[in-house]
Structure 1
Amino acid sequence: MKKLVSLLLVLVMVFTLAACAPKQPTGGDTSDEQTAKKVLGVVMPNATHGFLGESIKHAEAEVKALAEANGFDYKFLTSKESSEQNNQIDTLINEKVDAIVLWPHNGDELRSAAQSVMDAGIPLIIYDRLINGFTPTATIMGDNVSIGELTGKYFNNYFAEELKAGEVQILEFKGDNSTVPQQRHDGFLKTADKNFKIVQSFSTDWQRAKAQDQMENLLNTSKPEDIEKIKAVFTHDDEVVLGVLDAISGYKGPTKLNIKLVSGVGARRENLDTFKPTYETLQVDQVTYAFSPAYVRQAVKLGLEVLEGKTLQKDYLIPTEEVDRSNEEAFRSSETYKIRYSIQ
């Protein structure tokens, strides 16, 4: 009898210890906390400098900070071209991440991969460049149409007297063939006076050096009477502006230049620093529209909201600010400017 009681006591102790012991996680050697963590994929073009280089720094800083504060994991991927970006998206789909923030190289070349994300039931947030004919979970971008519209209105006011007399000829320097320049171009045409005539349009690949070469070639090969008619340059990027100004300041030809205004997008410190000296030396005014590399942080924040189960709007437009000689010093105190340079 004593042996039976002892055996029963031993069994009770074994079951008690087993019940109190910590449970081991299923699905490998990961902990409960790791198993429960959601994963956000952030996919961008790569760059080491310029607007895109700054954007990468902001995006990586934001996703790292949010992951540490909110307990999720992330995959941060950059690529040289669309084919590599397509492969990265396929990998994220196979890894069953919980949401993806995508800045496409080129929307048309990413349509199939983006559709695969949606077909897999993974929320997809598109940043900056649209994919025509495709509806993701949400799209967030700068208000490019408004940037173009504001530029058109600014040109109207600046050349009000000249427009009364007739045609005013201008040049246009686009970034590339993506939806961003097209939206800015369309916005400009919507508000600009019909007497503005774009006599030539260039695609710069967002490069200062390429814009400089294009402008120099035009100034050195065009007829003097044609050059003299050009009154303004409408560009889609601040770095492009500097290339145009390099060509204007370096021009040694016989023709008198009558370019009075150059517009840009970005409101970069490097450009703001040139506003006053460019006017004093070349008598060329500038206007630019704030478009910060830090805007990508808002796209990453939307990714967090998806992980938290929140429902997003379909479209988010980030407003811009107009900056010229009259307010460039005040703009340096704005939150847009401070956040842009907060990680440098």
Structure 2
Amino acid sequence: MKKILIMLLVLVLVISMLGCSQQETATEANDVKVLGVVMPNATHGFLGESIKHAEAATKLYAEEYGFEYQFLTSAESSEQNNQLDTLINQKVDCIVLWPHNGDELRSGAQNVMEAGIPLIVYDRLIDGFEPTMEVMGDNFTIGEETGEYLNNYFASELAEGKVHILEFKGDNSTVPQQRSDGFQKTADENFVIVQQFSTGWQRAVAQEQMETLLTSSSVEEIEAIKAVFTHDDEVVLGVLDAIMNYNGPATLDIRLATGVGGRRENLDTFKPIKEQYGIDQVTYLFSPTMVRDAVEYGAKILNGEEFSGLYLIDTMKIDASNEADFRKSDIYKIRYESGL
């Protein structure tokens, strides 16, 4: 009888210990932090590259810091708001958000902050809203430096009078607005922006818009255009496509095309476009690898570090004078030789 009682007590003790062990395991599992990364889907090359780098960085830091993650993309703002609601309900520990459009994501972002979840907003800011942290390229400086570049390039023409140019923007987010504002701050008052276009960051759209302008404008109006100020390297290529296809009566006198990105595909056109069409090019660095910085800040927040305010990622001018040197830089190598 005593042996039976002892065996029963041992069995109860074992079951109790197993229960505690399972409870501890569950508790430990629940203690694993989760990072949510919310991005637009790939509507153009820059976003496609950015998504690859964001996914790679998220996986890398998850392994390094020991957290789990949810990586979400979407086609529009309403879907992105729904994704934020889902992450809030899942009680994730930090969110990195690349908004489709800041104004349309304000309520979703506010819900994140009200839920006590640290929020890092990347690239496209939300006007009138203060997240935990903002990470972005220095768009205003890009605009400023573009204005200064055009001032120097057309110094003699500006001294004599007006210089007509075109502007091709990306969309209606804060990014092109900041670039336009920076340009207006530094550009000579004798620059006349004949027409502005919103391209949706699409090469084909920019080509169509430029072709329409060339076929619908007078010879005098076309020949007066001296430069094209664009907000994206893919857009530059669309404009150049239209110029190369033009066979109308006007003699084109476009001497300079500006872009943003520092893409290899654009650098490859610098020499042939100059030789065949007499058009110089300059682009300002805005790499898809920059999104890695935003993900890294999210990882560090999960690791207990604290950040706040705006973090601007530096840009640089790339034209024929330094294009070869730029190809040797670490930024270029990470973008094109990392195997992504």
1:339 deviation in Å?
A: 1.5
Aligned pairs (5 A) from 1:272-287:
272-287=267-282
Contact 2:36/2:71 (8 A) holds in 1: yes
Contact 1:129/1:179 (8 A) holds in 2: yes
Provide the TM-score with structure 2 as the length reference: 0.95
Task: Give the CA RMSD over aligned residues.
Answer: 2.0
Contact 2:44/2:201 (8 A) holds in 1: no
1:209-259 per-position Cα deviation (integer Å, ceiling 9, x unaligned):
110011111111101111111100000000000000011111101111110
Aligned pairs (5 A) from 1:227-266:
227-266=222-261
Could you tell me which amino acid in structure 2 is paired with residue 271 of structure 1? N
Provide the TM-score with structure 1 as the length reference: 0.94
Q: Hey, what does 2:20 align to over in structure 1?
A: 23
Structure 1 position 75 matched with structure 2 position 41 = no
Contact 1:58/1:343 (8 A) holds in 2: no
Select 1:54's aligned residue among 49, 58, 62.
49
Q: Hey, what does 2:189 align to over in structure 1?
A: 194
Contact 1:211/1:244 (8 A) holds in 2: yes
1:269-307 per-position Cα deviation (integer Å, ceiling 9, x unaligned):
100000000000000000000101111010000101110
1:86-132 per-position Cα deviation (integer Å, ceiling 9, x unaligned):
11100000000000000001110100000000000000000000111
Whole-Å separation in 1 of the counterparts to 2:115 and 2:10: 49
SS of residue paired to 1:300: helix
1:11 deviation in Å?
A: 8.8
1:329 deviation in Å?
A: 1.1
SS of residue paired to 2:23: coil
1:14 deviation in Å?
A: 6.9
1:25 deviation in Å?
A: 3.8
Contact 2:61/2:299 (8 A) holds in 1: yes
Whole-Å separation in 2 of the counterparts to 1:14 and 1:281: 88
1:12 deviation in Å?
A: 8.6
Unaligned runs of 5+ in 1: none
Unaligned runs of 5+ in 2: none
Whole-Å separation in 1 of the counterparts to 2:124 and 2:13: 60
1:62-95 per-position Cα deviation (integer Å, ceiling 9, x unaligned):
1011111211000000001111111110000000
**Structure index of larger Rg:** 1
Whole-Å separation in 1 of the counterparts to 2:44 and 2:190: 38
Whole-Å separation in 2 of the counterparts to 1:212 and 1:20: 71
How has the CA–CA distance of structure 1 residues 220 and 21 changed in structure 2, closer, same or farther, with 3 Å as cutoff?
closer
1:8 deviation in Å?
A: 9.6
Percentage of matched positions with identical amino acids: 65
